[in-house]
Amino acid sequence: MLFFGRGVIVILPSYYTEWLNSIDTAEAVCYRGSEFYLLSESELADEITIDKNTVNTFNQLYAFIKTQLEVSGSSPLTIDQCSTCITIGTDNGNPVFIDLMRDSDLFCYYLDGGYIEAKGGNLLSLTMEAIIDET
């Protein structure tokens, strides 16, 4: 899966895109004690507007961090660090993302507190361990 946003080309591994296309993204994913929703390929490419910043969905973390920096002057990430992060899902509206500079480790950015929490594991372990909640 290849995306282009904010002057950066983003490539998600084929093992992830094949797995993503094999599951129902309308169902929650249970992974290491967390439950969240993954975004389909088409949803990742959609354009969204967050506080006057129009970005592709996969790049929404950038818009949230930019807003947090403008409002509070501080943030758990810099704008430059956001360029290596790809939003792949949502946890109650909070972006679930991977950081390509950290072996595609999985994180969640919590909008209400402006903090980041590790979900544990990475993109590869997500594809191997996640259970799709079809209830």
**CA 122 to chain centroid:** 12
| 65-111 pLDDT per residue, tens | 999 999 999 999 999 999 889 999 999 999 999 998 899 999 999 99
Q: How high is the pLDDT of residue 9?
A: 58
93: CB partners within 8 A, 6+ apart: 111
Phi, psi of 34 (to 5 degrees): -115, 155
- Residue spans of the domains in the chain: they are 2-133
Q: How high is the pLDDT of residue 2?
A: 47
40 burial (CB, 10 Å; 0-12 / 13-18 / 19+) is: middle
Q: How high is the pLDDT of residue 11?
A: 74
Q: What is the average per-residue pLDDT within 8-28?
A: 86
| 19-35 pLDDT per residue, tens | 999 999 999 999 999 99
Strand (E) positions, 32-135? 34-38, 47-50, 53-56, 85-91, 94-99, 105-110, 115-122, 131-133
Count of C-beta atoms within a 10 Å radius of residue 77: 21
Q: Does the pLDDT at position 8 exceed 80?
A: no
Instruction: Give residue for tokens 């909008």.
Output: 111
Q: Does the pLDDT at position 18 exceed 60?
A: yes
When computed from its CA atoms, the radius of gyration of the chain, rounded to whole angstroms, is 14
Q: How high is the pLDDT of residue 83?
A: 86
